[in-house]
Amino acid sequence: MEKQILVAGFGGQGVLSTGLFLAYAAMAEGKNISYVPSYGAEMRGGTANCIVTISDDEISSPLTDTPMQAIIFNRPSLDRFEDSIQPGGVLVINSSLVDRAPRRQDLEVMQLPLTELAEESGAPGSANMIVLGAYIAHTGIVNIDYVLNSFANIFKGKRSHTIEQNRKAFLVGVEYARTRWHRS
């Protein structure tokens, strides 16, 4: 089954790297993927989003106006993309920067206080890895073990401290999802 995931926020929040990491993790699991980034000319502080498509089969098109799932880092992104998510889809929200509840009742909504979780974990710049861990743990879109075993390859060329810090942040998100979000 093909799934499209929108990741959206401001440039500098790790939006594009979140999508790219998800794409690499799915590829490590043997899935077909596409990754389509989009960002404003001003980059840091401007708008940024990407669509990641993950499929067991060949991907028909990497573009979509109606993603099945979304990871939203800020209020402007929620305002812009909430209505485009398919009914019954998953919406993950950074509640640290989104000051309103979603209007739609036909979505599975998960909220994370990313700023607080990142500060508590001792890695304030790791909010994107925390949300990714929570999202993957809850949706099962890719196998967590594949992700954990892929950190060195995905962060190839980075210092071992950086790899371990990102891995730790990812696991904070996994734990958050396992203790707070239960699938029925």
Distance CA 177, CA 14 (A): 20
The CA distance from 39 to 148, in Å, is: 28
Instruction: Give start and end residues of each alpha helix (H) in 42-143.
Output: 75-81, 114-120, 127-139
Alpha helices (runs of H) in 34-143, residue ranges in sequence order: 75-81, 114-120, 127-139
**pTM for this predicted structure:** 0.92
Choice among 47-56, 110-119, 136-145, 149-158 with the minimum mean pLDDT? 149-158
Domain tally, the chain: 1
> Mean pLDDT over residues 54-80, rounded?
93
Nearest to 54 by CA among 34, 25, 84: 34
Collapsing DSSP states into helix, strand and coil, what is residue 112? strand
Nearest to 115 by CA among 169, 179, 167: 169
Whether residue 165 contacts residue 123, with contact meaning beta carbons closer than 8 Å, is answered with: yes
Instruction: Give the amino acid at 57.
Output: D
Residue bearing the bigger pLDDT, 3 or 182: 3
- Structural domain range at position 9: 3-180
How many whole angstroms separate alpha carbon 124 and alpha carbon 127?
A: 7
Task: Answer whether 62's CB lies under 8 Å from 53's CB.
Answer: yes
Sign of the dihedral defined by the CA atoms of residues 75, 85, 144, 134, in that order = positive
Residue 106 has pLDDT above 80, yes or no: yes
- Does pLDDT of 101 surpass 80? yes
Average pLDDT, the chain: 89
Residue 96 belongs to domain with CATH number: 3.40.920.10
- Cα pseudo-dihedral 67, 73, 75, 76, rounded to 10: -60
**pLDDT tens column, 137-167:** 999 999 998 888 887 777 777 787 888 888 9
**Is the predicted pLDDT of residue 43 greater than 60, yes or no?**
no
For residue 6, the cross-strand partners are 51, 70
Please count the residues of the chain. Answer: 184
Q: How far is CA 68 from the centre of its chain?
A: 13
| Residue 17 Cα distances to 76, 84, 106, 179, angstroms | 19, 22, 28, 26
